[in-house]
Amino acid sequence: MSTTTPSPSAPASSSPPSPEAELEQLNRRNRDFAATYQGGLQMRPRFLTGVLTCADPRIDPAHFLGLELGDAVVMRNLGGRVDAGIEREMSILSAMTKMLLGPDAPPLHLAIVHHTDCGMERFASVEAQARLGRATGIDAHTIDELAIADHDHSFAADVDRLRRSPVVPNRTLVSCHLYDVHSGTLTQVRAPAPLA
């Protein structure tokens, strides 16, 4: 009799597991993690570089950048795009850094990471944006701002939004990178540079 366990990437059955079964698996993983957790981490990250990237489950900076607990602030949303929430978080993080390190604290660096085969690329057309708008009630302008038709254009728009933001310090350093989901490689598109 075979006792082969399915691989983590292969579904165990044709029907998805229940939320309760998934939660139990996550709780079991947490118990395994907590059994060897050392604690003692400071709130202040080791790096002044923070990462903004997509919420896509194939994209995890802990894996493709080798980040460990306590290394860096990581912010994720659909597409890894700069929006009002990211502006607010960068403003607060900058203020907190000055509070922790003093008024001469070096500027924060935000590494914006987009990726190939992004779901937000599927909403680049007006027709797709209209369908998504009808399905969600979100206005077409907002969807258009988050959609990715061209990565160079999206990077430029994200940097420009940070530059125009009344709450993000203009000394903030920003770089842009494209992660390839097929090869696992990260390519720098824009070197770190201050917003002003």
Token look-up 């907190």 returns: 96
- As a whole number, mean pLDDT of residues 129-135 equals 94
Domains of the chain: 42-194 (3.40.1050.10)
Q: Phi and psi for 23 in degrees, rounded to 5? A: -65, -40
Task: Return the ∠ at Cα 190 (arms to 53 and 84), rounded to 5°.
Answer: 45
Distance CA 126, CA 149 (A): 11
In the predicted model, is pLDDT for residue 157 greater than 50?
Answer: yes
Q: List the strands of the sheet with 49-54, edge to edge.
A: 74-77, 49-54, 109-115, 173-179, 186-194
Does this model's pTM top 0.85? My answer is yes
Quick one: which of 53, 91, 83, 77 has its CA closest to 157? 83
Tell me the pLDDT tens digit for each residue of 6-44: 445 555 557 889 999 999 999 999 999 999 999 999 999
Tell me the pLDDT tens digit for each residue of 169-190: 999 999 999 999 999 999 999 9
Ranges 4-8, 95-99, 106-110, 166-170: which has the least confidence: 4-8
